[in-house]
Chains A and B, each alone.
Chain A
Amino acid sequence: MSKIHYINEFDEDRTFTFDERIALLRKRKIVQTEEKAKQGGADEDDYGLIVQDEFVYQLKPNHPNGSIYGYRAWTENYCSILAEHPIYVDALDAFSAKGFFFLERLRPKTKKWNPDYPYDDLQKIFDRYQIISGIDNCHHFTPDIQIGLDLGWGGILRKLKEQRALHDETHHEFYDSEIAVVEHIIAFIRRAGDEIEALACQEKNRQLAENLHTMAAINHRLATEPPKTFREAIQWNNWFSMLSRTYNRGSSGGQIEDLFNPFYERDVASGILTDEEAIFYLACMFLQDSRYWQLSGPDEHDNDKTCHLSYLALDAADKINIATNLTIRVHDKLDPAFFEKSVEYLFKNKQGWPRYSSDKALMEGFMRCGYSKELARKRVAAGCHWMCIPGMEYTMNDTVKVNLAMVFQVAFQDMMANADQTRPSIDALWEQYRKHLKMAVDATGRGIIHHLTHQTKSQPELILNLFQHGLIEKGVNITDGGANYYNMCIDGAGLAVAADSFAACQQRIDKEGRLTYEELTNHLDANFEGENGEYVRQMLFHSERYGGGGDSLGDKWAVKISKLWTGLVRDLVEQHKDNPKNVNFIPGFFSWSNTILLGSILKATPNGRKAGEPINHGANPNGGFRKDGAVTSMCNSIAAIQPGYGNTAPVQLEIDPQIANDPEGVKKMCAMILGIMNSGNTLLNINIIDAKKILEAHKDPFKYPDLVVRVTGFTAFFSMLSEKFRELVIERVKAVNADLEY
């Protein structure tokens, strides 16, 4: 368990440079991570959470099932937490703002949705197709932190009170809850200032005591006032992050240059900030939380946003060098020196950051939904695989998944059940697939509408509501019309399993006649265990796979499924056109960390995958997709299946560090990244992995406690991952390291 206060660790005369403080903080982070891993770890973002045992909160349920629902219960519990939550203070750090847990996870796991709003009929369909409906999921859209930087908590409180006076009593529950929340936040930050001041008086080291005195003064001011300086802006941001996480884990970042460069430039011009100091503050921000930040991209005149602060942000991430989620938005005018520097850090640190998004593909896609270029440009990378306009959209990003492989299984079983009426064939299978995928997508759409209609009665967004443009003026929760746009994300998962299964059936049964559908069914039912089972499995597994670069049967099926998927999801817009929220539906391909879950109850599939094995990762092909594991071939295949409406189907690359171990290699890697981006791909996640090192770390996770990998959209300490998840990363490394011995 970690301590909550780190003071008096050093002699009173010792002095520290900013770099020394970063190094010491990093060391502490690694130790804290080991402690977290020993507590069981987690297959998700790091969140910067501290594992401690001083403060345990007991949920105060308002429902007999032990859960909490609606404005009042969430408000009361959150305010109770803030009243008691200890203040984490590290005298080395520039900021105070560390959280310990999420209120939303204190609820009973199966009781998140308010039972007064059932959806049993939909659940039957969700179960049949293994749909993760997103119903009851919170946050997963992006707040506009600029609102907070402009108003401060005091300004937000004033605005809430002013608007309450203008609205009738139907809105008072909303306002009263939000006002109570903000009042408790103000009291909490004020208390933080008091406690930090008390610790400052105890700290013996003169430099660190002075740091704490400054930190205390900043927090006393920030309890109500908006930030004035660069340091204050980041402290304000860190509080927002911690407070939002503590409520319901929600906290995506934004565009670093937009939010912080005005403060940086002002402070530098005033002579109160050096670059070293700015790097230190940014490093402390990355240390505080593994939130998603975007760097670069075009401004309103299509010019590059890259500025000196962009470079400092990279330098800060380099110095703290932990699980950092930075996305570089690649566009035509991207500063080449900045781009090259980002690739240098990617290879130097081998920690999975930064990653790269394609401005062109994302802009064109979002505009295809009917949005303007101005809005499309504002959509920043702010989550695992997702984009969002800060303060403008409600999206349910990354929470809704349809298992395309399970839909295949249902379609295959349906075809075989009717074999006496329609002879099984690849055409008959496709017809069944079309029918079942439509049923799955339609049910998913209805589920999203159900969520939007009733989510407030389960869990209102009490924190993120405050950072939406126009929401406080409307006086409603974001799911009740508080957002400007409803762009609902629906992701397909298991594309490669479905595509390869179609390809295997077509090649081995319909084309080559090596097998019948009846024989295949028997082998699938037996999980390839019976006579000739492994032979048939190998035959199927080595059919023409998705990932071949465009010409393989698997590639053709993947494109065909993608077009069907995209069309069906877009059809939902018309189906729900009468919904007053003007709901839009945007298709993508992403599994997040559900690859294990979604594979767990899936039976053996015709691509040679055995029952219970994970499905493919995101939009990536299955392992062994091509004998040479050619990266460009895989990227071309993924480019070809992009749905093209502004959401992503990311490329996940595992690359050997030797590829770019010199300046020439870095330049080549830059060219490759540009190639991947220019070919129509939307998002690129890269792991630079020393294959032997990661194999050793898999055997003994604590051998390399600071090893960070990009798991899916997020980066994580490898030691924090469960064995199954570590295996998934290993499998991806194996897929592109044909020579590796295991």
Chain B
Amino acid sequence: MDCSWCHNPETLPHRPVLMFYENKCIGCGKCFEVCPEGAHRIVDGNHVVDRTLCTSCGTCTESCFAGALVMSSRKYTVEEVMNEIRQDKLYYDLSEGGVTFSGGEATLHMAFVEALADACHEEGIKVAIETNMAIPFYHIESMLKKMDLIMCDLKHVNTSIHKQFTGLENQMIFNNVGRASLLGIPMIVRTPLIPGATDSIENLHAIAEFVSKLKNILYYELLNFNPLGGSKRIAIDAEDSFEACRPFSDKQLEEIKAKLEDTGVSIKVS
């Protein structure tokens, strides 16, 4: 799935990608010196990364201490992540909280997620996942069963609109959400409020009605528009179609929520 508003667009290529935050560049020129591909260039007086040459090898990031050049991701072993997680064990115990696998899309790293979930459970730490459910259910069923909480998105009830904004039709996703709700694991279904894409009352009402019929639902959550993805898109030289969009006000969120209450589902806005 390739949501055009994705606020972690750097994860879409499914490999580490070089990100360039021009506002942090101090003009030291070290990246020009070390890049083996000559991908750093000056165009019209501006420092640009020539994406046709850049292999995202990461060499330049090692000399960019200002943080203008960073890799989108890095590889971890399960044990390395567990070392980070253990630091907060006390807080998990007291809050009955735990670790959430998120993304991008966590199911793209299925084996790792399953191994990490097992490791967490061995140490008494609960796990949750945020997923778009855009993967055949038989692929994710065993992984979902390891979760203590499932958070999943339903973006649009109209499959053509869904495909327009995400690149995928929606039938499998709705089916997966329905099947996941029968696993006996607490679930939260969410819809990101994207201006002009998902925010119509008709769409939200239809999703809320669908959710109201599911089992094991804690609540239906409306996620306010998050503009964070914009700067990241610029950093990977991708287009930001939602540059002009702003988060909804508290008042607008409450108004939307009020119009969905007749579905009977518990609704949360955040």
Interface mask (B70-106 → A, CB under 8 Å = 1, otherwise 0): 0000000000000110011011001111000000000
Bound complex: CA A739 to CA B21 (Å): 13
Take A633-B87, A658-B270 as given contacts and tell me if A678 and B94 are in contact as well, using a CB distance cutoff of 8 Å.
yes
User: Which residue of the partner chain, among B28, B91, B228, contacts A671 with CB atoms under 8 Å?
Assistant: B91
Task: Name the B residues within 8 Å of A667 (CB-CB).
Answer: 95
User: Which residue of the partner chain, among B28, B91, B95, B270, contacts A532 with CB atoms under 8 Å?
Assistant: B28
Take A538-B65, A658-B270, A678-B90 as given contacts and tell me if A672 and B95 are in contact as well, using a CB distance cutoff of 8 Å.
yes
Task: Name the A residues within 8 Å of B66 (CB-CB).
Answer: 534-535, 538, 542
Closest residue to B90 on the A side, CB-wise? Answer: A675
A538 touches B26 (CB 8 A): yes
Bound complex: CA A555 to CA B168 (Å): 47
B237 to chain A, nearest CB (A): 21
B14 interface residue (CB < 8 Å to A): no
B67 interface residue (CB < 8 Å to A): yes
B91 touches A534 (CB 8 A): no
Task: Name the A residues within 8 Å of B26 (CB-CB).
Answer: 534-535, 538
Size class of the contact patch on chain A = 20 to 34
B30 touches A535 (CB 8 A): yes
A573 interface residue (CB < 8 Å to B): no
A675 touches B65 (CB 8 A): no
Take A668-B95, A739-B228 as given contacts and tell me if A541 and B90 are in contact as well, using a CB distance cutoff of 8 Å.
no
- Interface residue count on the B side (C-beta < 8 Å): 19
Bound complex: CA A678 to CA B228 (Å): 34
User: Which residue of the partner chain, among B28, B65, B83, B84, contacts A542 with CB atoms under 8 Å?
Assistant: B65
A671 touches B95 (CB 8 A): yes
Task: Name the B residues within 8 Å of A633 (CB-CB).
Answer: 87-88
B254 to chain A, nearest CB (A): 13
A636 interface residue (CB < 8 Å to B): yes
Bound complex: CA A367 to CA B58 (Å): 53
Interface SS of chain B: helix, strand, loop or mixed? loop
Task: Name the B residues within 8 Å of A632 (CB-CB).
Answer: 87-88, 91
Bound complex: CA A539 to CA B65 (Å): 5
A671 touches B87 (CB 8 A): no
Task: Name the B residues within 8 Å of A254 (CB-CB).
Answer: none
A349 interface residue (CB < 8 Å to B): no
A160 to chain B, nearest CB (A): 52
User: Which residue of the partner chain, among B87, B88, B94, B228, contacts A674 with CB atoms under 8 Å?
Assistant: B94
Bound complex: CA A297 to CA B104 (Å): 46
Bound complex: CA A542 to CA B90 (Å): 28
A679 touches B28 (CB 8 A): no
B125 to chain A, nearest CB (A): 14
Bound complex: CA A667 to CA B94 (Å): 10
A554 interface residue (CB < 8 Å to B): no
B65, B67, B83, most chain A CB atoms within 10 A: B65
A550 interface residue (CB < 8 Å to B): yes
A538, A549, A550, A662, most chain B CB atoms within 10 A: A538
A416 to chain B, nearest CB (A): 23
Bound complex: CA A532 to CA B28 (Å): 7
Bound complex: CA A521 to CA B83 (Å): 36
A533 to chain B, nearest CB (A): 10
Interface mask (A653-681 → B, CB under 8 Å = 1, otherwise 0): 00000100010000110011011001100
Bound complex: CA A534 to CA B66 (Å): 9
B65 touches A541 (CB 8 A): yes
B28, B30, B83, B270, most chain A CB atoms within 10 A: B28
Task: Name the A residues within 8 Å of B87 (CB-CB).
Answer: 549-550, 632-633, 636
A668 touches B65 (CB 8 A): no
A675 touches B94 (CB 8 A): yes
Task: Name the A residues within 8 Å of B88 (CB-CB).
Answer: 632-633, 636
Task: Name the B residues within 8 Å of A678 (CB-CB).
Answer: 90, 94
Task: Name the B residues within 8 Å of A541 (CB-CB).
Answer: 65
A679 touches B67 (CB 8 A): no
Take A550-B87, A632-B87, A633-B87 as given contacts and tell me if A535 and B95 are in contact as well, using a CB distance cutoff of 8 Å.
no
Task: Name the B residues within 8 Å of A658 (CB-CB).
Answer: 270
A535 touches B28 (CB 8 A): yes
Task: Name the A residues within 8 Å of B28 (CB-CB).
Answer: 532, 534-535, 538
Task: Name the B residues within 8 Å of A672 (CB-CB).
Answer: 91, 94-95
A668 touches B228 (CB 8 A): no
A447 to chain B, nearest CB (A): 39
Bound complex: CA A632 to CA B30 (Å): 35
Can you name 27 A-B pairs with beta carbons within 8 Å? A534-B26, A535-B26, A535-B28, A535-B30, A535-B65, A538-B26, A538-B65, A542-B66, A542-B67, A549-B87, A551-B83, A632-B87, A632-B91, A633-B88, A636-B87, A658-B270, A667-B95, A671-B94, A671-B95, A671-B96, A671-B97, A672-B91, A674-B94, A675-B90, A675-B95, A679-B90, A739-B228
| A-B residue pairs, 9 tightest by C-beta | A671-B95, A538-B65, A675-B91, A671-B94, A535-B28, A539-B65, A538-B66, A549-B87, A542-B65
**Chain A interface (Cβ within 8 Å of chain B)?**
532, 534-535, 538-539, 541-542, 549-551, 632-633, 636, 658, 662, 667-668, 671-672, 674-675, 678-679, 739
Given contacts A535-B66, A632-B91, 4 further A-B contacts (CB under 8 A): A636-B88, A674-B94, A679-B90, A739-B228
